[in-house]
A = this chain, B = another copy of it.
């Protein structure tokens, strides 16, 4: 298991970690397998989405704010319940196949740490499982 560190700068933003994950895969030298990227946080998740036009990430953040706003009935004292809910909606991990030693991503797909309660020091764990049937 490798740890990748990310220092987030915003309260909410998507950070492209594709290059860092690909580096871990290359170091492992696995030709065929699966790479798992996992966030150990409860207010930051991992997702795959478009890496070409940054406005997609802007729009996703805006849409998530509309889906999971602050609500007066919320009880959690830290006030970050909207971030907890966003994390469970987006998810804590992604799996990406490895073929020929490289991540198999779609043409427009990047791997993102989704920060919902920053800025903070975050990390993701990366594990490479070798082999397939």
Q: Are B63 and A81 in contact (CB under 8 A)?
A: yes
Q: Which residues of A contact B (CB under 8 A)?
A: 1, 28-30, 33-34, 36, 38-42, 47-50, 53, 55-56, 58-60, 62-64, 66-68, 71, 73-78, 81-82, 84-85, 87-97, 99, 104-109, 114, 125, 127-133
**Residue in A29, A55, A76 with the greatest tally of chain B CB atoms within 10 Å:** A76
Complex A-B: 29 CB contacts under 8 Å: A1-B104, A29-B133, A33-B133, A34-B129, A36-B95, A38-B95, A41-B106, A41-B109, A42-B50, A42-B56, A49-B84, A50-B84, A55-B76, A59-B71, A59-B73, A59-B74, A59-B84, A60-B81, A60-B84, A63-B68, A63-B71, A66-B71, A67-B68, A92-B109, A97-B127, A128-B133, A129-B131, A130-B132, A130-B133
Q: Are A56 and B34 in contact (CB under 8 A)?
A: no
Copies of this chain present: 3
* Known A41-B108, A50-B84, A53-B78; further 20 A-B contacts with Cβ < 8 A: A1-B97, A29-B133, A33-B133, A34-B129, A36-B97, A38-B104, A42-B56, A42-B106, A48-B88, A49-B84, A55-B74, A55-B77, A59-B84, A60-B88, A63-B74, A89-B89, A92-B94, A93-B95, A97-B127, A130-B132
